[in-house]
């Protein structure tokens, strides 16, 4: 039966995430926006609490590792850890996107491990804080252009190359690195490796200074003859030209709804505050009256809220499909595309609606308008999502629709 409400079974847990976001993240939100690169030590205690919730089962399997595909357990409609994860990530990002991204042991690398690791690897990498290293100086969206090499030498792969834009690259204790086994074999030869930070040859070169999500560190990492145990290769070491890139890209089907959820959470922070500030300024939205018979501010607000609602429901759809073992590549990209652009429009418009109050650092509206921009870029830009959706809808290959 069609029902698009937040699942009853997740409500208590999501309310808990909301309380954490409100009482733990918001009070330090501006502090770490101003003090970029300073480690938010407050998060250690929070991370310990999240670990506790995870092991007690109270978190409904939510979190960075909630994207793991479990074996089917029950018949019929399922609301599982994917849905719990996007809803709780949205709540945390309502608190602060940058701080959420730098939550210990909740990195995108953890999601990647959860997505593709074998049970043995999952056990071995338990408790690690893994960041994700894909991008290189010479490419961004074109992930197939990976030039970092991994050459098998005895029981180890030897990694050489440079990775940029590694979220939590300094703070994490391991990195999931994308490297090619043989550049001449193209996409199929690209594999991901879990590399611990204390591995000789791995060096964090520097940290970026950014427009937003300044609480989260973004690192440049180099690999120079860095020897990684061969059992740290995620997935199969075989180069299956037929399967091509599909294996590596499968990670994105799982992480894109999470990033969409970040956008949904960040945009809701702007909407919530703006609704209140407009109310104090004497403007209230009347949902029954036609938008054009209300003030321009109220009409604008309704438009923003409508796009936000769509972004949220597309995100829930993509996660729900994952919970129900339905292929969701198209829906994940739809969610990311809509949420990414809606978050930009919402957060920037809220600054405009609240004018000077929105633009000044006394409120957080200007910060959210800076934080939101990255959400339409990482894990696949707006344009990459449109490309994926277009290819799917039109039935075209990447050779036909470039």
Partner 1 sequence: MSLTGSFKPGGKHGLSSKESRDPIGIAVAALNRVAQSDLIDRLRLRKTTEAVVYNATKSGFKAATTASRTFSKKGKRGQAGVRVKPASSSGLFDLNPTEDEQMLVQVVGEFAEEAVRPLASEANEACAAPDDLLKASLEIGLPILGVPEDLGGISEERSAMAGTLVAEALAKGDMGLAVALLAPGAVATAISLWGTDEQQQTYLPEFTGDSVPSAALALNEPSVLFNVLTPATKATRTEDGFVLNGVKSLVPRGGDAELFVIGAELEGQPVLFLVESSAAGLKVEGDPAMGVRAAGLSKVYMRDVKVDAGAVLGATDGTTYRECVRLSRLAWCALAIGTGQAVLDYVTPYVNERQAFGEPISHRQSVAFMVANIAIELQSMRLVTYRAAARAAQGKDFSREVALARQLCTQRGMQIGLDGVQLLGGHGFVKEHPVERWYRDLRALGVMEGGVLV
* Distance between CA atoms of residues 13 and 88, nearest Å: 8
Member of 33, 136, 162, 307 binding partner 1 (CB under 8 A): 307
Q: What is the CA radius of gyration of the chain?
A: 21
Q: What is the footprint of partner 1 within residues 267-306 (CB under 8 A)?
A: 287-293, 302-303, 305-306
Q: Judged by CB, which is closer to partner 1: 217, or 376?
A: 376
Least distance in angstroms from the C-beta of 64 to partner 1 = 21
Which among 89, 104, 91 is positioned nearest to 48, based on CA atoms? 104
* Distance between CA atoms of residues 267 and 362, nearest Å: 18
203 makes contact with partner 1 (CB under 8 A): no
Q: Judged by CB, which is closer to partner 1: 154, or 395?
A: 395
Q: What is the footprint of partner 1 within residues 78-117 (CB under 8 A)?
A: 79, 83
Beta-bridge partner residues of 5: none
Least distance in angstroms from the C-beta of 383 to partner 1 = 8
400 a catalytic residue: no
393 makes contact with partner 1 (CB under 8 A): yes
Q: What is the footprint of partner 1 within residues 313-372 (CB under 8 A)?
A: 313-314, 316-317, 320, 331, 334, 337-338
220 makes contact with partner 1 (CB under 8 A): no
220 sits in which H/E element = strand 218-229
334 sits in which H/E element = helix 329-353
394 makes contact with partner 1 (CB under 8 A): yes
* Distance between CA atoms of residues 213 and 223, nearest Å: 26
Q: What is the footprint of partner 1 within residues 52-81 (CB under 8 A)?
A: 77, 79
Of 36, 363, 379, 400, catalytic:
379
Q: Judged by CB, which is closer to partner 1: 65, or 79?
A: 79
Core vs surface per residue 93-117: b (16+ CB within 10 A) or e: bbbbbbbbbbbbbbbbbbbbbbbbb
Q: How many residues bind partner 1 (CB under 8 A)?
A: 49
Which among 63, 53, 69, 14 is positioned nearest to 250, based on CA atoms? 69
Q: Judged by CB, which is closer to partner 1: 204, or 310?
A: 310
One DSSP character per residue, 155-194 reads TEEEEEEEEEEEETTTT-SEEEEEEES-GGGGGGGEEEEE
401 makes contact with partner 1 (CB under 8 A): yes
196 sits in which H/E element = strand 190-196
Contact letters for partner 1, residues 222-261 (x by CB under 8 A): ----------------------------------------
Q: Both tokens of residue 86?
A: 């996007």
* Distance between CA atoms of residues 157 and 149, nearest Å: 9
Contact residues for partner 1, defined by CB under 8 A: 1-9, 77, 79, 83, 287-293, 302-303, 305-307, 309-311, 313-314, 316-317, 320, 331, 334, 337-338, 383, 386-387, 389-391, 393-396, 400-402
Q: Which residues belong to the active site?
A: 379
């Amino acid at each position: 039966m069609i029902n698009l409400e937040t699942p009853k079974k997740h409500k208590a847990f999501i309310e808990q995430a909301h309380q954490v976001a409100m009482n733990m993240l918001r009070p330090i939100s501006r502090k770490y926006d101003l003090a970029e690169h300073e480690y938010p030590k407050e998060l250690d205690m929070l991370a310990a609490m999240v670990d506790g919730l995870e092991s007690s089962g109270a978190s409904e399997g939510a979190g960075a590792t909630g994207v793991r595909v479990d074996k089917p357990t029950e018949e019929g409609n399922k609301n599982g850890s994917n849905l719990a994860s996007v809803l709780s990530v949205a709540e945390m990002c309502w608190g602060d996107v940058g701080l959420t991204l730098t939550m210990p042991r909740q990195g995108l690398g953890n999601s990647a491990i959860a997505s593709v690791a074998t049970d043995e690897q999952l056990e071995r990498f338990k408790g690690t804080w893994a960041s994700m290293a894909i991008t290189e100086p010479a490419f961004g969206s074109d992930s197939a252009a990976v030039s970092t090499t991994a050459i098998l030498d005895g029981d180890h792969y030897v990694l050489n190359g440079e990775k940029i834009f590694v979220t939590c690259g300094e703070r994490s204790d391991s990195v999931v690195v994308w490297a090619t086994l043989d550049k001449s074999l193209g996409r199929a030869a690209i594999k991901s490796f879990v590399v611990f930070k204390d591995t000789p040859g791995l060096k964090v070169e520097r940290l970026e200074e950014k427009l937003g999500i300044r609480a989260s560190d973004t690192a440049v990492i180099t690999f120079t003859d860095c020897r990684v145990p061969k059992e740290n290769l995620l997935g199969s070491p075989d180069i299956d030209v037929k399967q091509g890139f599909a294996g590596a890209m499968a990670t994105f089907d799982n992480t894109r709804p999470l990033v969409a959820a970040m956008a949904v959470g960040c945009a809701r922070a702007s909407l919530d505050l703006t609704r209140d500030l407009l109310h104090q300024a004497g403007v209230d939205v009347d949902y029954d009256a036609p938008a054009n018979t209300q003030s321009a501010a109220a009409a604008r607000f309704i438009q923003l809220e409508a796009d936000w609602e769509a972004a949220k429901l597309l995100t829930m759809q993509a996660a729900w499909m994952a919970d129900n073992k339905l292929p969701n590549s198209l829906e994940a990209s739809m969610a990311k595309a809509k949420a990414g652009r809606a978050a930009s429009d919402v957060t920037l418009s809220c600054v405009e609606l609240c004018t000077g109050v929105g633009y000044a650092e006394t409120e957080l509206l200007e910060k959210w308008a800076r934080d939101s921009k990255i959400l339409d870029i990482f894990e696949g830009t707006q344009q990459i999502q449109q490309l994926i959706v277009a290819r799917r809808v039109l039935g075209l290959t990447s050779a036909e629709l470039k």
